[in-house]
Structures are given as structure tokens and as C-alpha cells.
Amino acid sequence: MNLRRIALLSLVLACGSGTSAFGQAEAPPTPAPANGSRLELPKGATAAIVVFEDLQCPDCKAMHPQLLAAAKVNTVPLVIHDFPIQRHAWAFPAAVLARYFTAQSSELGLLFRSAVFEYQADINSDNLREFAEQFAAAHQVVLPPVVDPDGKLKDGVQADYDFGIAIGLQYVPLVFVIGPGQGAAHWVEVTDPKNIPDAIAKLRSAAPHR
């Protein structure tokens, strides 16, 4: 599925408040829940937080530090999937850049994502590269003229996007807590980060004892 061809879907996906053609706020329709059964628990983890995010999405920006804090406090990994919706012009190339920095180190990739969210209002398609260069210089990393010569980083972003479509994602950020159980005991969607500790405890307790 080609990200740039999904025009209709991008009109349905939500990020921030919707408005009508007349500029009046509209109540978004209640979306069908996404299916987290295909999410994989990282090796060695007893629980994890999984998020599908768009680096240009204001709601994702607001959620990001809360998820980082929840992962740290609960000592669980935070698994990030990219889902750059089409109407956000620089979200896809930003995700590619984030993967470049992640390839240097997972910590650096996460720092770049945090920096993009922090300065999101100041970033646009024209200055994204300059922003990435400044970030690289500040962290003693060389940003090559072409960060994705073989297209593998782009393919990784696209694969995340396609996976989001496959599980029924209809808005970002989409957040799950997953555990070691099976079926409904394996995952739960979380819309409020304050509920993450309870979700982790319930999924862990529902897991089969060995």
C-alpha cells in the first residue's frame, strides 16, 4: 500500500480537533477499536507500551513526554511505530530522519523524536533538513547528504504505516499496553497515560503462570 495514494483514508484519520466546511467544530465519530493482537512483546519484557505516532501531530506531541515518563516509572520498554498521515507534509521525511538517528543509537533516535515534538510548531518542509543538521551537530553526528540511499528507512516507515492500517488504526496517537498473555489478555488500548500502571498490572496478572 503506497502512503501517498491513500487520500481518502487521510481525510478520516484524526489528529487534533475536526472542523466542518463552515469552520464550526464537529464532534468526531466514534471509531471502531483497533486490534492489538498482532503486537509483539519485546524479548525479555513482561509488558510494554506501544504507540503509533505522527511527528507532525499536536496530539502526539502532547502524549510523547507522558509515554516516556510512564515507560520509565513502570520500567517497561516504549515501542514506537511511525504513522505519518498524508495531510502532514513533513511527517514522513521526519520519520525517515528519526530512523537514521535511531540507526546510530536508540537513545539518539528517541532524542531526535523528542526534539521534533518540542519544536514542532517551528518546523516545516523547507527547514526540516536544517533542523536535523543542527540536531546532528549538537550531538556530534554527521548527517550525510542522503540519509537513506537504499530506501530501507523509507520502507521501514511505510511498513509501520501499513501495519497500522492492517490493525484498524483510525487516529493518532494510538497507544497500547501489551503483556505476555494470549487473546484479550495480551493487549489493551489506553487513551489516558494515567491508566498505564493499572493496565500493566492487569495484563501481567492475566498471563499464564509457568
164: domain CATH number is: 3.40.30.10
Domain that holds residue 91: 3-206
List residues bridging with 187 in a β-sheet: 178
The Cβ of residue 113 has, within 10 Å, a number of other Cβ atoms equal to 23
- Residue with the three cell numbers 500502571: 197
Q: Which amino acid appears at position 172 of this protein?
A: V
Q: How far apart are CA 177 and CA 157, in angstroms?
A: 21
Q: How far apart are CA 48 and CA 26, in angstroms?
A: 34
Q: What 3-state DSSP class applies to 169?
A: coil
Per-residue model confidence as pLDDT tens digits over 30-87:
677 899 999 999 999 999 999 999 999 999 999 999 999 999 999 999 999 999 999 9
Confirm if 166 and 11 have CB atoms less than 8 A apart.
no
If you average pLDDT over each of 20-29, 116-125, 199-208, which comes out highest?
116-125
Domain count, the chain: 1
pLDDT of residue 176 exceeding 70, the answer is yes
CA distances to 18, 31, 68 from 27, in Å: 7, 12, 29
R_g of the chain, CA atoms, integer Å: 18
Q: Which amino acid appears at position 102 of this protein?
A: T
Reported confidence tier of residue 26, pLDDT bands at 50, 70, 90? low
Taken as a whole, the chain contains a residue count of 210
Q: What DSSP designation does 44 have?
A: T
Q: What 3-state DSSP class applies to 25?
A: strand
The Cβ of residue 3 has, within 10 Å, a number of other Cβ atoms equal to 19
Reported confidence tier of residue 27, pLDDT bands at 50, 70, 90? low
The Cβ of residue 39 has, within 10 Å, a number of other Cβ atoms equal to 18
The Cβ of residue 133 has, within 10 Å, a number of other Cβ atoms equal to 14
Average pLDDT over every residue of 176-180: 97
